Structures are given as structure tokens and as C-alpha cells.
Amino acid sequence: MFDPLQAAMKTASYALSAQSTRMRVVSENLANAESTGKAPGADPYQRKTVNFESVMDDALGIDVVQVGRVSADKAPFRTEYDPGHVAADAKGMVKLPNVDMMVELADMREAMRSYSANTLIIKQAREMVSMTVDLLRAG
């Protein structure tokens, strides 16, 4: 038997897990936004992205979201002329991470909003279950 409240809570819990992973990856990107290589010409930190996928929850027969994979962003590294830097190449250029702070902050904000919305779904579904139990007790 299909239970819509259980399905709503299950779907929201998968989404919470996916958005939690997304927030962790964005936090890692922000923390490493200035992390350069440790040797001349070495590559710096490479931005990571989270890819979601839809999968079937066989127990409830519903599609849910989960993290498909976390992968490296293929965008080019920024470069800066700093011949005194430990990671400067022979031309004095230092490769900097391909992390854009504004993009990361927008991703974090979107992940937080999605996380909050899914938390609210679980809370409301629990309240509906509680009200149903209360009605059954009174009857």
C-alpha cells in the first residue's frame, strides 16, 4: 500500500542528504579558494561540483534524488603574476584555483534553502501523522 506521508518524508530525507553533501562540497571549495600548488608550476586546488541523479526507491515505488558523483570542475585555473611565490613557474605565473566566490555563495544559499524546505516537509508530515493518531484515539 502506498503511504503518501511516508513517501513525502522519505523523498525529503533523501533530498536532505543530497543537499548536505552539496553544502559540504561548497564549503570545501570556499575553504580552498586561495590554495595554490606547493611546487613551481604545480596545479592548485580544483573546484568540485556535485551532480544529482534520480533513483527509484523500490520499497515505496517513488523516485528520489541522491548524489550521483562529486567531480572536478574542468574550468581553467586563474593565473597571477607573482614571481616570488613558491608555486610560480619559470615565467613568474602562479596558478590559482578555479573557484569563484560569488558562484559558491550562490550555490550555498540555494542548498540551504532547499535543505530548509525539505526539513519543513518532514516536520509537516510528522505533524499530520500525529494529528491522525490523535483523531484515531478520540474516535
Q: Which domain holds residue 59?
A: 4-134
| Own/partner long-range contacts of 111-115 (Cβ < 8 Å, ≥24 apart) | 111/19, 111/22, 111/23, 111/26, 112/19, 112/23, 114/15, 114/19, 115/16, 115/19, 115/20, 115/23
Reported as a single tens digit per residue, the pLDDT across 96-124 is 999 999 999 999 999 999 999 999 999 99
What pLDDT, on a 0 to 100 scale, did the predictor assign at position 107?
97
Q: Work out the burial of residue 100: count CB atoms within 10 Å of its CB; fewer than 13 is exposed, 13-18 middle, 19 or more buried.
A: middle
Q: Given a cut of 50, is residue 1 above it in pLDDT?
A: no
Is residue 22 included in any domain, yes or no? yes
Q: Is residue 128 part of a domain?
A: yes
Summarize pLDDT for 49-61 with one digit per residue, the tens.
999 999 998 888 8
Whether 139 maps to a domain, the answer reads no
- What is the pTM (predicted TM-score) of this model? 0.86
Domain count, the chain: 1
